[in-house]
Amino acid sequence: MKSTYSISEAQSRFPGIVREAQDAGSVTISRHGEPVAYLVSRERMEAIVETLEILGNPRAMKAIADHRSGKVRLTPLAHLDRDE
């Protein structure tokens, strides 16, 4: 599959390019050989939005940093059901 299309190619082959973006995650649209736009699948866009939400949440970023530095110990979910 080709992943970059000129604007005129994209216009004439739009349904197929949408399917390609859906399968591959994204397709680049170019003008005079330079990328000017991207057609992104719903799945990839949802992943991007989720990542941005996490990056924009100071509490989530602190939890990630604490985990990476070893300050947080992870507990398997199965342990939460035990009566201790």
Give the tens place of pLDDT for each residue, 69-78. Answer: 988 877 777 7
Domains defined along the chain, listed by start = 4-40 (3.40.1620), 43-72 (no CATH)
What's the pTM? 0.70
Average pLDDT over residues 31-57: 96
Between residues 72 and 13, the one the model is more confident about? 13
Q: In this structure, is the dihedral angle defined by the CA atoms of residues 54, 36, 7 and 3, taken in order, positive or negative?
A: negative
pLDDT for 84 beyond 70: no
8 touches 29 (CB < 8 A): no
pLDDT, residue 83, reads: 61
Q: What is the mean pLDDT of residues 1-29?
A: 95
Give me 3's structure tokens. Answer: 């992943």
